[in-house]
Amino acid sequence: MEFASIISSGDKAAVEGFFKDKSKPPHYRAQALEVLFRGKRAPISGRDRAFLVSLLSDPDHEIRYMAAKIVGDVKEKYLVRQVLQLVVDDPDYTVRAQALIATRRWTMLTHLFFLEKALEDQNSKVRKEGIKSVGNLKVGALPPAVISRIEGISATDPAPEVRWAALDALMAWRRLTWDSISGLILDDNASEALRIHAIELSDNLPYAQKARLNALRDILLREQSIPLIWTAFQRVNVYLTDDPVVDDGLAELLKQTPLENSATVAIARHLKSRGYFVERKDGSWYVRRI
């Protein structure tokens, strides 16, 4: 209540006093700090800049997090190295990740040391943000070893969100190949969302369409996940004009699911066009070949 009252008052002196009172909860102090810098844009004063630098080493991680975020919000690019140093030094993963996010627009090849530290981080969010920052760099300036490292991460990192970011970086650099994602698309042990994303990225690889058709057909025959099957079906249904094996597989899938959504309705429509009797009845699909 006290904090809300001070914020709504618009009294900057009161807000500053609240922030300086270290007996207040850090979460609210961090919000007060954000209010103090609201509306400011670089170049900020030397006093404000020194203040933010001091807060990057504050004992409380919520204050360090907010200080890094503010550097990004006010676009104070001259503090990029001080903020990126948090990637190396800060014990809190949320601060390390925020340091990467806040500085991404100014990150350059000369900051590669910090980004490589992020790629080694034990926390998946930090690794993901590190990859996104690396992905923003121009591929022509990157050492080949860094590109190879991202390729390796795209195939082996245990966190799906990290592999996702790595695939996006490779696509941005035009280094994504069918060989680098074909195994993932058919990997039963990979997350459904990651496999779907890999299929979507493969839309940008026209030279691999024949190989992709075979892989997506394989998904239609062996998978049970409706979202995954729908993603594959959308891309190959135009070719399924004479494939009774796939039709039978889709018929069995429809029989086994109670779902009625855009995916199952589209599959039902396809089966009808292929000579099946399809009816929705009592919350189930009834399917038989005519």
pLDDT tens digits for range 199-230: 999 999 999 989 999 999 999 999 999 999 99
Cβ neighbours of residue 257 under 8 Å, at least 6 residues apart?
A: 226, 264, 285
Q: Is 271 exposed, middle or buried (0-12, 13-18, 19+ CB in 10 A)?
A: buried
Do 191 and 227 contact (CB within 8 A), yes or no?
Answer: no
| Mean of pLDDT values over 232-258 | 91
pTM of the model: 0.89
CA dist., res. 284 & res. 273, Å (int): 20
pLDDT above 70 for 242: yes
The pLDDT assigned to 258 comes to: 93
Domain parsing of the chain, residue ranges? 1-106
CB-based contacts of 273, cutoff 8 Å, min separation 6: none
pLDDT confidence of residue 139: 86
Report which secondary-structure segment, H or E, holds 286: strand 284-289
pLDDT of 261 over the 90 cut: yes
pLDDT bracket for residue 155 (50, 70, 90): very high
Residue positions counted in the chain: 290
Average pLDDT over residues 123-152: 95
In the predicted model, what is the mean pLDDT of residues 236-241? 85
| Averaged pLDDT of the chain | 93
Any idea which residue has 């855009």 for tokens? 262
* Reported confidence tier of residue 182, pLDDT bands at 50, 70, 90: very high
Residue 32: closest CA among 59, 54, 55, 63: 63
pLDDT at 1: 63
- Examine the pLDDT at 7 and tell me if it is beyond 80: no
**What was the pLDDT predicted at 230?**
96
* Whether the predicted pLDDT of 162 surpasses 80: yes
Residue 77 has pLDDT above 80, yes or no: yes
Tens-digit pLDDT profile for residues 274-290 = 999 999 998 999 999 88
pLDDT of residue 238: 85
